[in-house]
Amino acid sequence: MAVLVRAFQNVLAWLTLADYDSAKERATVDIVARLARRNVSFQNGSILNGAALRKLSEEGDAAMAHLRKLASHN
């Protein structure tokens, strides 16, 4: 059953050209991992794309605002 589901997903990815986009993403991760000499996270393929970086930055801003609010109450 799992094989059939996987085959269906592959056909769907092929039809929607999602295989093209995912191959490009994999290529980016491979290049970053190859050039990351001293960073284990990069070597393991953990990199932030633009959207993830923006989300992390917004969460950081919200956390800082929350901390400032807490500090002003104490």
Partner 1 sequence: MSNWGEHSDRLLFIKQEWDKAEEAIKLAEQVCGEVVTPSVKELRYAGRRLVDAIGKIGAGAPPSEIDGLLHDAYFDCHRARHDAIDAATAKIAKVLDIAATKIGYEVILKAYPSFSLLFGQLNLVRSRIAVSRGDRENRERVYASIEAVDFPALAKEYDNFKAAEPIMKGLAKTERKRRVLNYVIGIAGLLATIFSLLK
Residues that bind partner 1 (CB under 8 A): 14-17, 19-20, 23-24, 27-28, 30-32, 34-39, 42, 47-50
3-state secondary structure the chain: CHHHHHHHHHHHHHHHCHHHHHHHHHHHHHHHHHHCCCCHHHHCCCCCCHHHHHHHHHHHHHHHHHHHHHHHHC
Closest approach of Cβ 51 to partner 1, in Å?
11
Give min distance, CB of 17 to partner 1, in A.
5
Closer to partner 1 by Cβ: residue 3 or 23: 23
| Closest to partner 1 by CB, 39 or 67 | 39
